[in-house]
Amino acid sequence: MSNRIPDSFEAVLLTPLGRDAMLAADCLRMAGIEAVPCRDFEELSARVRAGVGTVLVTEEALTVERVRAFGDLVQEQPAWSDLPIVVFSSRLDTLRSRTAHLQELGNVSFVDRPVQRRTLVAAVRSALRARQRQYEGRRAIEAREQFLAMLGHELRNPLAAIVFATDLLGRGNADNPRLAKYTATVERQTRHLHRLVDDLLDVGRVTSGKVTLKREPVEMAALVRRSIEAHQVMAEAHGVSLIFTDDGTPVVVDADVVRLEQVATNLVTNALKYTPRGGRVAVRVGREGGQAVLSVQDTGLGIAAENLGSIFELFAQAPTTLDRARGGLGLGLTLVRTLVELQGGTVAADSPGVGLGSRFQVRLPLVVVDVVPASSKHGFPTPMPGRPRKRIVVVDDNADLREMLAELLGMVGYVVEEAGDGPQGLTRILSVRPDVALVDIGLPGFDGYELARQARRSLGDSVLLIAMTGYGQLDDQARAAEAGFDSHITKPVSLEDIEAAVAAPPSRSAPPAA
């Protein structure tokens, strides 16, 4: 059955002797119940997939293979469906093994034969009533999801306008400290509202299975470390210390980078939100029993044992937090659980009790590092076992790019130093005397060509100088060679480009013709 809620309340029947099914169907019809005898299991399957109220089946129709096929059919049902199956049986002893399997199908009831007309009608009516309640429950949930999605969209447009207007106000008020302060408050609160609206929209899409994940090998420790760095300002504002630790080994999982970040962010934000000033939030990434584990532990409000089971439910909030002082809609943990499960993992919460802090642990299957392609943007690049650690200086004024590159090079075994402009870059290169320097051309202070000339004059051939530029024209390459660079790579650079440039013999002696 598709995720659609069927209108059907029909009872479908399967018996090896078509005559039995006909008789039972007649009997049900006389009681006002729509009943359809099926010729074979294929017809029954087709009807179940289209949506039925209940399935009636006799024990003779249930060979071992058939029970298995029934199991597959039930598995195909959407999560909200609990298809009632009524089995007519007289020789329960001979059925014992099948009965055990049958009970795994969920909503199975047995009616002993010979079946009285009254018993048949009563059993089918009760199965159909249960089914009706499922349909109603599902319809109510769908209506709520549609409402939330609509609400989210309706709130988004005015919010977008407020964000633009605040931005303009902020620019206009830069020289008026009082107004600039008010504008900053509006901006901060609008951003908070924006996040809530995004969560509202997201939770609707994620829980109704409308989100597709872009999974790839991701090094979780680096990802979480970045997220923690981004939360330090918030932690300071809350007066809570936020600490990150890892095992120092790569923890690679098959995940969607954006969604995994969302999981980490939600857990860390909650920990900061529910920990009073002076508290501590410890985040750790490691491996345990063949799994990657992200643990977020705080010294905050804690969670009472009776609430631990329900906090992952949609809109659930523990009574301790209902003073509303901390805001929130009770969506974050539902998102966390759904996103973690979609990526093949689990999440659990534990707490010694109210006031004693909480711990949230996400477990995801580990990916074997060797199979990760070195080119994977967010993946862990193949490490260099046993290779002596080369020193490299990265000089680039784009801080994001520089830090990412430094992290990546650190992961493959380089000892990395960074600098953000020409003069600092030169000082760093002359003091570190690295094996390799990776230098951007357009730099504040003086450019990469000047840096290369001076570095070469002081250090001779002891350093491998690689230029990084935005353009790959031949005269760029020629100028780089003239300035003393050994090679030249074009942005966006990949790790392979750098490795290839490091491995290649210096090409300075033969610069390409301009």
Nearer to ligand ADP, 159 or 196 (CB): 196
Q: Which of 71, 170, 328, 506 lies at the binding interface for ligand ADP (CB under 6 A)?
A: 328
Nearer to ligand ADP, 319 or 472 (CB): 319
Closest C-alpha to 378, from 248, 220, 246, 499: 220
318 interacts with ligand ADP by CB under 6 A: yes
Q: Which of 14, 56, 128, 271 lies at the binding interface for ligand ADP (CB under 6 A)?
A: 271
Three-state SS annotation for 459-486: HHHHCEEEEEECCCCHHHHHHHHHHCCC
* Positions in 289-308 near ligand ADP (CB under 6 A): 298, 300-301, 303
Compute the distance between CA of residue 253 and CA of residue 367 in angstroms, rounded to an integer: 5
284 interacts with ligand ADP by CB under 6 A: no
Taking CB under 6 A as the binding criterion, the range among 90-98, 136-144, 310-318, 446-454 that sits at the site for ligand ADP is 310-318
Nearer to ligand ADP, 321 or 338 (CB): 321
207 interacts with ligand ADP by CB under 6 A: no
Nearer to ligand ADP, 274 or 449 (CB): 274
Closest C-alpha to 151, from 200, 88, 116, 92: 200
333 interacts with ligand ADP by CB under 6 A: yes
Q: Which residues contact residue 97 at a Cβ distance below 8 angstroms, ignoring those fewer than 6 apart?
A: 64
Helix, strand or coil, per DSSP, at residue 116: coil
Q: Which of 27, 31, 213, 329 lies at the binding interface for ligand ADP (CB under 6 A)?
A: 329
Cα end-to-end span (Å), the chain: 67
DSSP letter (8 states) at residue 151 = H
Q: Which of 58, 207, 338, 358 lies at the binding interface for ligand ADP (CB under 6 A)?
A: 358
14 interacts with ligand ADP by CB under 6 A: no
135 interacts with ligand ADP by CB under 6 A: no
Nearer to ligand ADP, 135 or 312 (CB): 312
Site string for ligand ADP, 386-425 (x = CB under 6 A): ----------------------------------------
Q: Give kind and range of the element (H or E) at residue 361.
A: strand 359-365
Residue 332 beta carbon to ligand ADP: minimum distance, rounded to whole angstroms: 3
Nearer to ligand ADP, 330 or 379 (CB): 330
Q: Which residues contact residue 324 at a Cβ distance below 8 angstroms, ignoring those fewer than 6 apart?
A: none
Compute the distance between CA of residue 299 and CA of residue 238 in angstroms, rounded to an integer: 13
Q: Which of 217, 330, 345, 448 lies at the binding interface for ligand ADP (CB under 6 A)?
A: 330
Q: Which of 21, 224, 283, 311 lies at the binding interface for ligand ADP (CB under 6 A)?
A: 311
Question: Within 13 Å, how many C-alpha atoms sit on residue 331's CB side?
Answer: 19
Angle, CA of 434, 435 and 436, to the nearest 5°: 90
Residue closest to ligand ADP when measured from CB atoms: 328
Round the CA-based radius of gyration of the chain to a whole number and report it: 32
Taking CB under 6 A as the binding criterion, the range among 317-325, 390-398, 416-424, 462-470 that sits at the site for ligand ADP is 317-325
Nearer to ligand ADP, 311 or 411 (CB): 311
Nearer to ligand ADP, 67 or 349 (CB): 349
Taking CB under 6 A as the binding criterion, the range among 109-117, 331-339, 423-431, 505-513 that sits at the site for ligand ADP is 331-339
Nearer to ligand ADP, 115 or 333 (CB): 333
331 interacts with ligand ADP by CB under 6 A: yes
206 interacts with ligand ADP by CB under 6 A: no
Nearer to ligand ADP, 108 or 340 (CB): 340
Cis peptide before 492 (omega within 30 of 0): yes
Q: Which residues contact residue 70 at a Cβ distance below 8 angstroms, ignoring those fewer than 6 apart?
A: 62, 85, 102, 105
Compute the distance between CA of residue 257 and CA of residue 215 in angstroms, rounded to an integer: 7
Residue 293 beta carbon to ligand ADP: minimum distance, rounded to whole angstroms: 17
Taking CB under 6 A as the binding criterion, the range among 201-209, 210-218, 309-317, 492-500 that sits at the site for ligand ADP is 309-317
Q: Where are the alpha helices (DSSP H) in 110-219?
A: 117-172, 177-207
Closest C-alpha to 173, from 192, 160, 186: 186
Residue 186 beta carbon to ligand ADP: minimum distance, rounded to whole angstroms: 22
Q: Which of 321, 424, 454, 477 lies at the binding interface for ligand ADP (CB under 6 A)?
A: 321
Q: How many CB atoms lie within 10 A of CB 51?
A: 20
Compute the distance between CA of residue 322 and CA of residue 325 in angstroms, rounded to an integer: 8
**Beta strand spans in 237-341 (E):** 241-246, 252-256, 280-288, 291-298
Three-state SS annotation for 191-243: HHHHHHHHHHHHHHHHHCCCCCCCEEEEEHHHHHHHHHHHHHHHHHHHCCEEE
Nearer to ligand ADP, 16 or 309 (CB): 309
**Beta strand spans in 43-89 (E):** 54-58, 85-89
Residue 443 beta carbon to ligand ADP: minimum distance, rounded to whole angstroms: 44
Sheet (strand 291-298) strand order: 241-246, 280-288, 291-298, 359-365, 346-350
270 interacts with ligand ADP by CB under 6 A: yes
Q: Which of 119, 208, 317, 382 lies at the binding interface for ligand ADP (CB under 6 A)?
A: 317
Residues that bind ligand ADP (CB under 6 A): 270-271, 274, 298, 300-301, 303, 311, 316-318, 321, 328-334, 358
